[in-house]
């Protein structure tokens, strides 16, 4: 009656691929952050699909936790970025390469 | 196989450890006053126990004595088992003798407590290595000796001490990596032959490992050989030696030269010949050649040294090459000579480094260009130094000659030309040692000698035990040889079983037609003398079942 | 995919078919939103536009959740993600003034862009290939609660969370507290006597940024 | 027979006491103590000799074992004494001459700061020599062999503050060590073939004819033994150390380099006669070494200026005679000459010592002369010694050298020719020496003026001179009038003079007086030294020729050196430099060999071996520097790396899972 779960999985995979590529290509730190969010959403989608497929609520609960972790991660990430950017006039992620080998 | 009431060997290993701990716990305020007496008490206690063991050691027995074995890590078959036999008996005795002399003879500045602690730790590790009958315990103790060695050199050494200490540690550590691999390989490969269960015990491994396939034994032996060649050191692996000994403090170089050499040589004998006899027999000629090359190489390089301590260090390379020459001659005289030479070298080189330390103290420098005519200011020091130099170059009547002669005779009857090369050391040894002696003591006395005082009574008392050893072992080595030969004969019989004609050299000696009528008691013809069977000498070896029936057999 | 689409449309218009069709419709709309949103996040140069496209993606995902009867999650998704996180993004973008257009084409380290694309594709293909494998892990499936039983989704989720997943739930609570504390500490203005030198640097920099 | 132990125990006890209590015993007391010990040992030897004499000649061999030394498997070596005619004869003249020289040293060394150390070495030397001679196996004898080397190191380098003395001592020891190398190889061979070192096992069966030995083995063993003997007795090619050993005090030269140590080689060859018997070419080698050495040394002796160096080269030459005799198969003749030589050479050295003593350590003959008026005892002693050495009839040298020349003639006329030529040269250089020292103008006045000037032989004013003059308060008067030596020095001179004059009676070959031959007969039975007889006719002819040659050399020496003191045409440079052999060797050794060794030790050892190890360290650091560049610092590179890693893992999993 509903859409076969394979479609969702394909969709999630594509979303994940795009998120990963975006992370690597874009140089603006915040956009990289957003790409990470994309990847996380792809994972959530997969969780929900499998929850439905295996008729197990656990999947959805995991999504909940993923959400929480994602939120915490964004908060701390942005705090770091704010602290970092305030200290150094950096426009993109590449300007911060003090830890060069 | 006597096991006395008290756990003698465990005491011998753990007493120095206790000494180390106690000397660390001495409160800082009392450090200056109390450290030395406490240290002396422990060192002499250890000496007393070892003396008791030597006295109680039954003469003429070949197997391991005072064996104490407790299971340690059951599932791997590792047991804390200690035992002593003819070969390791006098090495332990020499260690127990040399450490108090090294600790309390030379004067060293810096923190007495930590110095004594490191020295005691080193002594415990050396005792452990000599006495262990379990490969795992042997390996641990073998490695533990490196740590105090490093700190003694790095803490109280000369000006380039860090470089030297680091090089010493890393070089030997890299070498022992091979040892570790070889031990593991041996234990694992032996398990199926030993009824399935794994054991690290030396005795069972020895019984079992001779049935290992030929190639494995050679490879395992190579693993042992590399590790011990670095430790001994044999020539290509010796570059850590001159730096370490010249930078080490007097006490450090005494102990390093006196005992740490022997761990390598003892390991070669105990692990190499005893555990993988087939491998040892096949690799014998290679090591013989290395040793002979070492003698020639060491002599040439020693002659050219500009610094007294460095010269003595290089000279040790030649002496130690003798030991290896003796071991791989596979003749009873050769191996006994090697064991004897090990103890000799400990006494002689220990004494020489001690005296060199005194010369350094008095003259502040050891470069030949700045030394000369010391004999006028310090006649007694000159006399003692001459005695020790004579022992080093093997003057008959002193211990050097007995060891050297036995090694060369033993090597000659099986590998003639290697022995001839070895005998050249008799000449070159005299050249560089006497040259050094003449440079330091003879010649017109320098102006700066005016205020140089002669050797003090305390220092004479410290070196006296070594001198007594040097003279006694030279004139009357019989008690020593009677205890070592049975174990050596048993070891050679063990090698004989595994590798039937181990001792037939590549170069067969010309046979001599010798028609001796029956009634003459001329015993050995050419063929008979080269066959190793312990000959008419004493020793329970020969056809007897290996006498090692100690508890250690329990897997 | 077209074949199944035609079969759906042609089959019949019964209620069950209607539900089926509506499910497809929701899926398709959601998928479209997700894909366009994701493409937008990646390709748009202005970070603000990216943020907005992110919101679109989030709504798409919410739709997919609803389609898979995960209503509670859809709601949470929208409230937390779309509501809080993206707003935070926008706030930081404006606060730091990093909304200059980013020249996507410029790439300091060569090999980064092509390799990234290639890597993205490869990962995609691998995931799809792997999805056809079914024997991932043996052992009995651990069921923490039926999805399709009586009662609505929120009640079932709540029950699962507060029984089976209580410990992780408490840990996430702790995690959030830590995050908050971390944020306060990190973004505290480096004033005070201790590190005036750092303060000076910041003052001088910020003037430069705003100029 | 327990006097036998005393022979060895007394000097050993003397040495021990002097070693430990040496510094506290007053100056002359330690000297007398040492002399007493040596004399005691001599008395015991006489006792043992007399008891052996009482026994029938066949059973004159007693073996006494002290204790086992090295019991290792089939090798069983013990300290043991063998008292047989050969060893007793040797210990007789070792202890005899030794105690005389120790007595002489008391006078000579008075005033020297380390007086007792000298006598410690003297006693230790006599002890080691006795061990060498009395040992019952080759290894124990080797112990004495090296002990003697050590004592000569101590005695030659006695005044170690003088660099030349220290170098000479080291040279002596190292050259002896080269010989010991040969001796040890011989020992190993013996052990390999006989299983033991005891004379009873190695030599007795060969001597008694029960066993034979393959020629090749016998040759190998004897050559190695001869190498040892050649080093110890200063023959070609290892003789260079003896002339330099004159750096030591004169009694040392007398004791070691005339009477005892250098005869060790002769003893060894005599003792190993049974082995030599089985290899004729080894006997030829010994004979030719002897002939070559005696001629070469004689030529060099003709041009030496230092009184002691002349005697040193003369010793080398005379021992050449002994080797010649033994090589030719007549061991008794060799030993007879050894005993005679011990007497007159010790006499010559001791008188040279008193001459030097009188002239306050002036050793250069060119600054002596006309001393016959000032030294009433030393002059006749030196003359007797000179006549004995020059082999002028009724004196010792004539009889013993005659035997040697007869044996040489029997072996081969060429060897005999060498012998006769040497006899002439010997007479020549000795008469030259006597001429320069006792006749002519007294040149030592100019010497007194140039007291400080170092002799032209490059010997700086030896510290002994400082001691000598300091001790002799009497030297203060006038130009240092030479005066006769004190009584302790003249007594030994007188005794040795008597011995040099009438010693030949010990083995005169007429009227049944050949005592030494009869005494040594059991040692050299027919199976060891094939007996040969030179017809009395040829013997007489050889004797007459030898006498004529001796007188010829004598008058030549006296005549040529009557007026002029420096005659360059008679002292060619190449002889003065000992045929450049010594300088040649030291030039090659200290030149290219030293450079090669230095380059070897620094290039190979420090360079490669050490370099290899440090190289490992450096290469690790280098690798670290290269890898550092991987850390670009860009966050995105790291992200990419993680991505690629993940992709790879997934790829691997998919492949594995797929299969």
Cβ of D637 and C109 within 8 Å? yes
CB contact under 8 A, D185 and B420: yes
By CA distance, what is D624's nearest residue in A? A101
Determine whether the interchain pair D630/A101 forms a contact, defined as Cβ–Cβ distance below 8 Å: yes
Residues within 8 A of C (CB atoms), D 467-496 only: none
Query: Residue A100 is nearest to which of D631, D639, D643, comparing CB atoms?
Result: D631
User: Tokens at residue B170, please?
Assistant: 């890393």
- Residue B552 and residue B135 in contact, taking contact as beta carbons nearer than 8 Å: no
Residues 6+ apart with CB under 8 A from A69: C172, C175
The rounded percent of chain D whose pLDDT value lies above 70 is 94
Chains A and B are touching, with contact defined as 3 or more CB–CB pairs separated by less than 8 Å: no
The residue of chain D with its CA nearest to that of A36 is D639
Is the link from the previous residue into D225 a cis peptide, with omega within 30 of 0?
no
Q: Which of A29, A38, A70 sits opposite C41 (nearest CB)?
A: A38
| Cα atoms found within 13 Å of the Cα of residue B105, Cβ hemisphere only | 32
CB contact under 8 A, A101 and D632: yes
For residue range D420-474, what is the model confidence (pLDDT) as tens digits? Answer: 999 999 999 999 888 888 887 877 765 444 444 433 333 333 344 333 333 333 3
Interface with A, mutate which of C26, C70, C126, C166 (most A CBs under 10 A) = C70
Interface of D with C in 610-649 (CB under 8 A): 632, 634, 636-637, 640, 643-644, 646-647
The domain locations on chain B are 8-484
Q: A97: distance to nearest CA of chain C, Å?
A: 12
Chain C: closest CA distance from residue A90 (Å): 9
Instruction: Provide CATH code, domain C1-107.
Output: 1.20.120.1200
| Count of pairs with CB atoms under 8 A, one residue in A, one in C | 250
Specify if A81 maps to a domain.
yes
Cβ A98–D633 below 8 Å, yes or no?
A: yes
Q: Is D656 on the interface with C (CB under 8 A)?
A: no
pLDDT, tens digit (0-9, with 9 covering 90-100), for D176-185 = 999 999 999 9
Q: Are B348 and B470 spatial neighbours (Cβ–Cβ below 8 Å)?
A: yes
Show the CA angle centred on residue D70, arms to residues D69 and D72, nearest 5°.
Answer: 155
**Residue of chain D whose Cα is closest to the Cα of A28:** D636
Q: How distant is the Cα of D596 from the closest Cα of chain A, in angstroms? A: 48
List B82's β-bridge partners, or say none: B68, B132
Whether residues D185 and B423 touch (CB distance < 8 A) is answered with yes
Quote the percentage of chain D above a pLDDT of 90.
Answer: 23
The verdict on a CB contact (< 8 Å) between C130 and D657 is: yes
Lowest-confidence segment of A41-50, B454-463, D329-338, D531-540 by average pLDDT? D531-540
D531 contact partners, CB below 8 Å, separation of at least 6:
none
In this structure, of B392-406, C31-45, C66-80, D602-616, the range with the lowest mean pLDDT score is D602-616
Task: Select from D138, D143, D140 the least CA-distant residue to D201.
Answer: D138
Question: Can you give the pLDDT at residue B377?
Answer: 83
| Disruptive mutation site among D635, D636, D654 for chain C (greatest number of C CBs within 10 Å) | D654
Q: Which residue of C has its CA nearest to D636?
A: C112
The per-residue b/e assignment along B420-449, b for 16 or more CB within 10 angstroms, e otherwise, is bbbbebbbbbbbbbbbbbbbbbbbebbeeb
Interatomic CA distance for residues C124 and A45, integer angstroms: 15
Per-residue pLDDT tens digits for A37-80: 999 999 999 998 888 888 888 888 889 899 999 989 998 888 88
Q: Do chains B and C touch (3 or more CB pairs under 8 A)?
A: no
Instruction: Calculate how close chain D gets to A5, using CA atoms only, in Å.
Output: 21
On whether any CB of chain D is under 8 Å from the CB of C115, the answer is yes
Q: Mapping DSSP to helix (H, G, I), strand (E, B) and coil, where does residue A92 land?
A: coil
Among candidates A23, A32, A100 on the partner chain, residue whose Cβ is nearest the Cβ of D633: A100
D651 vs C126: CB contact, 8 Å cut-off?
yes
Does the ipTM exceed 0.85? Answer: no
What are the structure tokens assigned to D419, written together?
């012998």
The CA distance from D154 to D121, in Å, is: 7
Residue A41 belongs to what domain range?
Answer: 5-89
Chain D interface, mutation test: which of C42, C110, C118, C123, most D Cβ atoms within 10 Å? C123
In angstroms, the separation between the Cα of residue B132 and the nearest Cα of chain D is 26
The mean pLDDT value for D343-353 works out to: 89
Size of the A and D interface in Cβ pairs below 8 Å: 32
pLDDT at D269: 92
Place of tokens 């996430």: C172
Dist. CA B499–CA B488, nearest whole Å: 16
CB atoms A28 and C124 under 8 Å: no
B172-to-A56, B280, D301 alpha-carbon distances in Å: 60, 22, 60
CA–CA min distance B326, chain D (Å): 13
CB contact under 8 A, D633 and A27: no
Predicted confidence band at A89 (pLDDT cuts at 50, 70, 90)? Answer: low
- For A20, name the nearest residue in chain D, comparing CA atoms only: D643
Whether omega for the bond prior to residue D259 falls within 30 degrees of 0, making it cis, is no
User: Which residues in chain D have Cβ-Cβ distances shorter than 8 Å to B447?
Assistant: none
C95 versus D104: which is more confidently predicted?
Answer: D104
Neighbours of A56 (CB within 10 A): 19
Rounded distance between C-alpha atoms, residue A11 and residue A39, angstroms: 12
Nearest CB partner across the interface for C88, out of A52, A63, A74: A74
Neighbours of C152 (CB within 10 A): 10
Instruction: Compute the distance between CA of residue D376 and CA of residue D379 in angstroms, rounded to an integer.
Output: 6
Q: Is B380 on the interface with D (CB under 8 A)?
A: no
Sign of torsion, CA D245 D249 D251 D252?
negative
> Which residues in chain D touch residue B426, judged by CB atoms under 8 angstroms apart?
177, 180-181, 184
**Interface touch A86/C172, C-beta < 8 Å:** no
Structural domain count, chain A: 1
Q: Provide the mean pLDDT of chain D.
A: 84
Spatial CA neighbour of D363 closest among D281, D459, D279: D459
Cβ contacts (< 8 Å) between D630 and chain A: which residues?
101
Task: Report the neighbours of C using a cutoff of 3 or more CB pairs below 8 angstroms.
Answer: A, D
Convert the pLDDT of each residue in D226-246 to its tens digit.
Answer: 999 999 998 888 888 888 888
Helix (H) / strand (E) element for D82: namely: strand D75-83
Alpha helix positions (H), D109-159: 115-134, 138-156
Distance from CA of C130 to the nearest CA of D (A): 6
Residues in chain B predicted with pLDDT less than 50, given as ranges, are 505-555
Are A15 and C38 within 8 A, CB to CB? yes
Contact list in B for residue D210 (CB cut-off 8 A) is: 516-517, 520
Chain B residue at shortest CA distance from D182: B423
C-alpha distance from C194 to closest chain A C-alpha (Å): 16
The answer to whether D120 and D19 are in contact (CB under 8 A) is yes
- In this complex, is the C-beta atom of B305 within 8 Å of any C-beta atom belonging to chain D? yes
Residue C82 has pLDDT above 90, yes or no: no
Q: In this predicted model, what pLDDT tens digit does every residue of D492-512 receive, in sequence order?
A: 889 989 988 888 888 877 767
Flag whether A100 is in a domain.
Answer: no
Chain A hits for D637, CB-CB cut-off 8 Å, are none
Q: Which of B292, B286, B285, B313 is nearest to B301 (CA)?
A: B313
CB contact under 8 A, D210 and B430: no
User: What CA–CA distances, in Å, run from C52 to A86, C91, C104, C138, D644?
Assistant: 25, 12, 18, 43, 30
Which tens digits make up the pLDDT trace of D304-327? 888 888 999 999 999 999 999 999
Give yes or no for residue C209 having a pLDDT over 50.
no
Which CATH number fits the domain that encloses residue A78?
Answer: 1.10.287.3510
């Amino acid at each position: 009656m509903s859409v076969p779960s394979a479609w969702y999985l394909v969709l999630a995979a594509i979303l994940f691929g795009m998120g990963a590529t975006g992370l690597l290509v874009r140089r603006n730190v915040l956009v990289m952050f957003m790409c990470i969010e994309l990847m996380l959403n792809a994972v959530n989608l997969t969780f929900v699909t499998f929850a439905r497929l295996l008729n197990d609520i656990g999947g959805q609960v995991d999504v909940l936790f993923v959400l929480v972790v994602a939120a915490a991660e964004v908060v701390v990430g942005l705090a770091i970025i704010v602290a970092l950017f305030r200290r150094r006039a950096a426009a993109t992620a590449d300007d911060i390469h003090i830890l060069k080998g | 196989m006597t096991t006395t009431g008290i756990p003698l060997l465990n005491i011998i290993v753990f007493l120095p450890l206790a000494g180390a701990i106690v000397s660390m716990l001495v409160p800082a305020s009392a450090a200056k006053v109390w450290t030395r007496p406490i240290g002396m008490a422990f060192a002499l206690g250890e000496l007393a126990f070892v003396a008791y063991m030597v006295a109680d050691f039954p003469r003429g027995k070949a197997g391991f004595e005072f064996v104490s074995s407790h299971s340690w890590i059951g599932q791997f078959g590792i047991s804390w088992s200690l035992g002593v036999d003819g070969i390791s008996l006098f090495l332990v005795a020499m260690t127990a003798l040399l450490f108090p002399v090294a600790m309390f003879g030379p004067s060293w500045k810096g923190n007495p407590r930590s110095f004594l602690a490191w020295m005691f730790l080193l002594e415990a590790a050396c005792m452990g290595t000599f006495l262990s009958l379990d490969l795992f315990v042997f390996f641990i103790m073998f490695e533990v000796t490196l740590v105090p060695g490093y700190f003694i050199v790095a803490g109280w050494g000369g000006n380039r001490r860090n470089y030297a200490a680091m090089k010493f540690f890393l070089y030997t550590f890299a070498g022992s990596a091979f040892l570790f691999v070889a031990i593991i390989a041996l234990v694992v490969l032996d398990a199926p032959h030993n009824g399935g269960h794994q054991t690290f015990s030396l005795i069972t491994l020895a019984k079992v490992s001779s049935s290992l396939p030929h190639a494995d034994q050679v490879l395992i032996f190579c693993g042992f050989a590399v590790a011990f060649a670095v430790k001994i050191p044999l020539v290509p692996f010796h570059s850590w030696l001159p730096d370490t000994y010249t930078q080490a403090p007097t006490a450090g170089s005494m102990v390093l030269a006196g005992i740490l050499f022997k761990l390598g040589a003892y390991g070669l004998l105990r692990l190499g010949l005893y555990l993988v006899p087939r491998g040892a027999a096949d690799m014998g000629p290679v090591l013989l050649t290395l040793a002979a090359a070492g003698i020639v190489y060491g002599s040439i390089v020693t002659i050219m040294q500009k610094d007294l301590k460095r010269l003595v260090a290089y000279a040790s390379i030649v002496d130690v090459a003798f030991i290896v020459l003796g071991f791989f001659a596979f003749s009873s005289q050769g191996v006994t000579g090697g064991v004897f030479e090990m103890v000799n070298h400990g006494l002689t080189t220990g004494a020489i480094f001690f005296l060199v330390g005194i010369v350094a103290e008095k003259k502040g420098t050891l470069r030949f260009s700045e030394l000369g005519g010391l004999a006028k200011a310090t006649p007694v020091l000159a006399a003692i130094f001459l005695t020790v130099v004579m022992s080093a170059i093997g003057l008959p009547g002193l211990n050097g000659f007995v060891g050297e002669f036995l090694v060369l005779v033993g090597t000659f009857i099986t590998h003639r030309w290697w022995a001839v090369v070895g005998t050249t050391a008799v000449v070159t040894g005299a050249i560089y040692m006497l040259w050094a002696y003449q440079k330091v003591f003879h010649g017109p006395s320098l102006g700066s000698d005016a205020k140089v005082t002669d050797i003090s009574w305390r220092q004479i008392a410290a070196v006296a035990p070594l001198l007594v050893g040097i003279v006694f072992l030279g004139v009357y080595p019989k008690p020593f040889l009677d205890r070592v030969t049975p174990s050596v004969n048993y070891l050679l019989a063990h090698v004989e079983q595994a590798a039937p004609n181990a001792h037939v050299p590549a170069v067969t000696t010309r046979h001599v037609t010798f028609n001796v009528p029956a009634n003459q008691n001329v015993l050995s013809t050419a063929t008979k003398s080269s066959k190793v069977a312990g000959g008419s000498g004493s020793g329970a070896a020969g056809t007897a079942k290996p006498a090692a029936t100690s508890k250690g057999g329990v897997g | 995919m077209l074949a199944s689409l035609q079969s759906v449309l042609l089959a019949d218009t019964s209620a069950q078919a209607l539900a089926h069709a509506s499910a497809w419709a929701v899926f398709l709309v959601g998928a479209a939103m997700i894909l366009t949103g994701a493409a937008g996040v990646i390709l748009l140069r202005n970070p603000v536009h990216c943020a907005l496209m992110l919101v679109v993606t989030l709504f798409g995902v919410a739709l997919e959740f609803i389609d898979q009867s995960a209503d509670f999650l859809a709601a949470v998704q929208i409230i937390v993600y779309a509501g809080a996180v993206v707003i935070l993004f926008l706030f930081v973008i404006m606060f730091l003034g990093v909304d200059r257009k980013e020249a996507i084409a410029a790439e300091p380290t060569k090999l980064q862009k092509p390799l990234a694309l290639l890597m993205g594709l490869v990962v995609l293909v691998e995931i799809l290939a792997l999805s056809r494998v079914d024997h991932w892990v043996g052992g009995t499936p651990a069921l923490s609660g039926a999805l399709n039983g009586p009662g609505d989704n929120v009640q079932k989720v709540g029950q699962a969370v507060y029984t089976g997943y209580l410990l992780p739930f408490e840990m996430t609570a702790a995690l959030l507290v830590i995050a908050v504390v971390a944020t306060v500490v990190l973004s505290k203005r480096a004033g005070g006597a201790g590190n005036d030198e750092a303060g000076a640097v910041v003052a001088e920099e910020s003037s430069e940024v705003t100029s | 027979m327990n006097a036998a132990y005393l022979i060895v125990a007394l000097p050993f006890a003397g040495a021990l006491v002097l070693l430990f209590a040496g510094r506290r015993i007053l100056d002359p007391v330690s000297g007398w103590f040492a002399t007493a010990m040596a004399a005691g040992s001599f008395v015991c030897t006489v006792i043992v000799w007399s008891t052996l004499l009482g026994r029938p000649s066949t059973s004159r061999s007693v073996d006494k074992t002290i204790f086992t030394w090295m019991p290792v498997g089939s090798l069983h070596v013990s300290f043991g004494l063998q008292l047989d005619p050969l060893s007793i004869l040797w210990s007789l003249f070792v202890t005899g001459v030794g105690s005389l020289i120790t007595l002489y040293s008391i006078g000579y060394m008075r005033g020297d700061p380390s007086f007792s150390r000298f006598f410690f070495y003297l006693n230790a030397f006599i002890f080691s020599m006795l061990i060498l001679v009395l040992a019952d196996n080759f290894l124990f004898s080797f112990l004495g062999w090296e002990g003697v080397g050590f004592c000569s190191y101590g005695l030659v380098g006695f005044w170690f503050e003088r660099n030349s003395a220290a170098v000479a001592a080291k040279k002596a020891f190292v050259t002896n060590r080269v010989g010991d190398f040969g001796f040890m190889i011989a020992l190993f061979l013996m052990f390999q073939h006989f299983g033991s070192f005891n004379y009873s096992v190695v030599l007795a069966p060969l001597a008694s004819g029960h066993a034979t030995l393959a020629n090749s083995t016998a040759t190998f063993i004897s050559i190695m033994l001869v190498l040892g003997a050649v080093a110890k007795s200063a023959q070609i090619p290892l003789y260079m150390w003896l002339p330099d050993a004159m750096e030591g005090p004169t009694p040392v030269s007398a004791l070691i380099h005339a009477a005892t140590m250098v005869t060790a080689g002769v003893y060894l060859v005599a003792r190993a006669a049974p082995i030599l018997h089985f290899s004729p070419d080894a006997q030829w080698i010994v004979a030719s070494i002897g002939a070559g050495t005696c001629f070469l040394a004689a030529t060099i002796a003709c041009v030496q200026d230092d009184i002691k160096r002349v005697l040193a080269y003369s010793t080398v030459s005379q021992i050449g005679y002994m080797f010649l005799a033994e090589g030719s198969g007549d061991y008794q003749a060799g030993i007879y000459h050894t005993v005679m030589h011990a007497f007159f050479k010790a006499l010559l050295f001791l008188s040279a010592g008193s001459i030097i003593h009188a002239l306050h350590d002036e050793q250069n003959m060119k600054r002596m002369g006309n001393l016959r008026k000032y030294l009433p005892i030393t002059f006749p002693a030196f003359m007797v010694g000179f006549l004995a050495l020059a082999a002028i009839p009724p004196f010792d040298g004539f009889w013993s050298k005659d035997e040697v020349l007869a044996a040489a003639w029997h072996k081969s006329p060429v060897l005999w020719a060498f012998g006769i030529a040497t006899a002439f040269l010997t007479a020549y250089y000795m008469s030259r020496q006597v001429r320069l020292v006792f006749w002519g103008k007294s040149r030592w006045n100019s010497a007194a003026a140039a007291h400080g000037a170092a002799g032209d032989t490059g010997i700086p004013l030896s510290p002994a001179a400082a001691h000598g003059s300091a001790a002799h308060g009497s030297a203060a008067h006038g130009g240092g009038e030479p005066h006769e030596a004190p009584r302790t020095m003249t007594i030994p001179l007188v005794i040795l003079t008597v011995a040099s004059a009438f010693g030949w009676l010990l083995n005169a070959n007429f009227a049944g007086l050949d005592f030494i031959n009869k005494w040594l007969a059991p040692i050299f039975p027919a199976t060891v030294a094939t007996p040969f007889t030179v017809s009395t006719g040829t013997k007489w002819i050889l004797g007459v020729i030898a006498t004529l040659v001796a007188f010829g050399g004598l008058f030549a020496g006296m005549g040529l050196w009557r007026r002029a003191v420096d005659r360059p045409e008679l002292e060619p440079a190449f002889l003065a430099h000992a045929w450049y052999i010594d300088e040649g060797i030291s030039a090659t050794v200290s030149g290219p060999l030293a450079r090669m060794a230095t380059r070897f030790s620094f290039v190979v050892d420090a360079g490669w071996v050490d370099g290899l190890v440090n190289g490992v360290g450096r290469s690790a650091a280098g690798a670290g520097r290269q890898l550092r560049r991987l850390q670009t610092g860009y966050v995105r590179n790291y992200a990419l790396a993680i991505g690629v890693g993940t992709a790879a893992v997934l790829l691997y999993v998919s492949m594995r899972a797929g299969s």
